[in-house]
Structure 1
Amino acid sequence: MSTDQSPKILDTGANGGEELIRFENVTKRFGKATVLDGLDFQVGRGKHVTLIGPSGSGKTTILRLLMTLLKPDEGRIKVNGDYLTHEERGGKLVPAREKHVREVRKNIGMVFQQFNLFPNMKVLRNITEAPVTVLGMSKDEAEQRGKELLDLVGLGDRCDAYPTQLSGGQQQRVAIARALAMRPQVLLLDEVTSALDPELVAGVLDVLRDVAHSTDITMLCVTHEMNFARDISDQVLMFDEGKVIESGPPEKMFSDPDLDRTREFLSAIL
């Protein structure tokens, strides 16, 4: 790992716009395995960045660090100018208290591979529960917002259904609406179609295309759906063994990458 105190940060679109996410020398280990190795990169506000690479290369770990489901072993992460797992006290940077973590994390929403809906709650309440309990939104405002989001994902007529009454694709669209209900600045997408039957994938990806093209939400996406990545991305990062080995706009990365490793990976999945 580099010991440089002023890391060279990989720019993924912050120049010409405000930086929203920054990883500084972030290392994450599981036992003796180093999953992220001194990772440096930044994402500009409103940009859509897709992470590609083989399984085990560290892509999902990045999303889980941003959600504070994991903590880095070394390095620091900033979101919207605030440290995520650290805070400044007495002129020093120290591990953050839970209150600080919760406050910064409110800016981040995530859609997982599995839908993780509450089976005992109807669809609308699945969407309104967190805005009411976490953001302090009134029930009326949360329900109005929830109905608007269900319309957005094409499920405006399923407010009173239970998750078990929906198809997998419909449940994933509810999960997308639930993440958007928190009004996140950052939306993390972790292989959101991998648990779906093939015929359901297109509908979910169409919803996410609409979100990408009609909102200013910053998106960080892990996917093997390369056509989707080409459509929505400002920048594509190729990961291998815990490092970014190549990055560029989608037209460059998918048509004429510089590295043999990137070409090998893309030829195996396209």
Structure 2
Amino acid sequence: MIRFDKVVKRYGDNTVLRELDFHVRPGERVTLIGPSGSGKTTILRLLMTLEKVSGGLIEVDGECLTHIRRGDKRVPADEKHIRPIRRKIGMVFQQFNLFPNMNVLRNITEAPVRALGRPRAEAEAKARELLDMVGLADKALEHPSRLSGGQQQRVAIARALAMEPEILLLDEVTSALDPELVTGVQDLLRDIASSSDLTILCVTHEMGFARDISHRVLMFDQGQIVEDGPPEKIFSDPAEQRTRDFLQAVIQT
């Protein structure tokens, strides 16, 4: 469902991803762990086309996201090519990114109406179903400023799901929350993961959450994969010393 082929990402002289190769199968839930600055969030931003690759290719569902063929050459993809591929991907951001001037219902329905062409009544009915699922059925007409951080993140999750994505990207979705709100959001995502066939790519520093939600865990360091395996292996008996050092430091803190 997702394939990175020798992907390089540079910011000036700083190389963040170094010929990165990895894949995620349809319906697979993969979590990226590793120190801050190792390139994890950059991977998600490349998939959302918020950043452009410096080298290599990215494929989504068998289609090249980053490039198109023009004659016998491969050139960077234009927006017309990217847009239908990107619609397969939903992302939940660390900082919620809700529109403060719109109520909850409008935050969820705006993209389906504008990007997918859904009739507003249909989009609102779906939004209300999703709000009920995330436990916020009574908050449809509230504005984000009147919601707690945990409630705002639940709205952001509902908004991502309203686009009916095949791939869901989760970027440190609980790191901006007060500690007492983290469990509720994580429990919701566990339920979504276990009850759907979504392909999920998750970045988190919450190791318990990573263990619970993942089919596979990738340990990142300095823009490369250090270790790749099932969570029971990565968290209980990692093969690489770098993984052991990272987990020891995270669990102690």
Same fold (TM > 0.5): yes
> Relative CO higher for 1 or 2, CA cutoff 8 Å, sep ≥ 6?
2
Question: Matches of residues 62-211 of structure 1 in structure 2 within 5 Å?
Answer: 62-211=43-192
Distance in 1 separating the partners of 2:47 and 2:33:
17
In the TM superposition, what is the alpha-carbon distance from 1:233 to its structure 2 partner?
0.2
1:242 paired to 2:223: yes
In the TM superposition, what is the alpha-carbon distance from 1:67 to its structure 2 partner?
0.5
Q: Secondary structure at the match of 2:110?
A: helix
Instruction: Read off the aligned partner of 2:153 and give its amino acid letter.
Output: Q
Higher helix share: 2
1:248-267 residue CA offsets vs partner (Å, 9 max, x unmatched): 00000000000111000001
**Which residue in the other structure is 2:200 paired with?**
219
Question: Matches of residues 43-62 of structure 1 in structure 2 within 5 Å?
Answer: 43-62=24-43
Instruction: Read off the aligned partner of 1:76 and give its amino acid letter.
Output: L
Considering only aligned residues, what root-mean-square deviation do their CA atoms show, in Å?
0.8
Distance in 2 separating the partners of 1:107 and 1:90:
27
**Which residue in the other structure is 2:3 paired with?**
22
Task: Give the TM-score, by structure 2 length.
Answer: 0.98
Task: Give the TM-score, by structure 1 length.
Answer: 0.92
Distance in 1 separating the partners of 2:196 and 2:235:
25
Distance in 2 separating the partners of 1:97 and 1:35:
24
1:46-69 residue CA offsets vs partner (Å, 9 max, x unmatched): 000000000111000000000000
Distance in 2 separating the partners of 1:197 and 1:183:
29
In the TM superposition, what is the alpha-carbon distance from 1:91 to its structure 2 partner?
4.3
Distance in 2 separating the partners of 1:88 and 1:253:
39
1:79-98 residue CA offsets vs partner (Å, 9 max, x unmatched): 01111121123343221111
Distance in 1 separating the partners of 2:219 and 2:96:
26
Q: Percent identity?
A: 68
Instruction: Read off the aligned partner of 2:90 and give its amino acid letter.
Output: G
Instruction: Read off the aligned partner of 1:38 and give its amino acid letter.
Output: E
Distance in 2 separating the partners of 1:156 and 1:218:
26
Distance in 2 separating the partners of 1:76 and 1:87:
10
Q: 1:228 aligns with which of 206, 209, 215?
A: 209
5+ long unaligned stretches in structure 1: 1-19
5+ long unaligned stretches in structure 2: none
In the TM superposition, what is the alpha-carbon distance from 1:190 to its structure 2 partner?
0.5
Runs of 4 or more consecutive aligned structure 1 residues displaced over 6 Å after TM superposition: none
Distance in 2 separating the partners of 1:202 and 1:103:
34
In the TM superposition, what is the alpha-carbon distance from 1:140 to its structure 2 partner?
1.1
Q: 2:16 aligns with which of 35, 44, 49?
A: 35
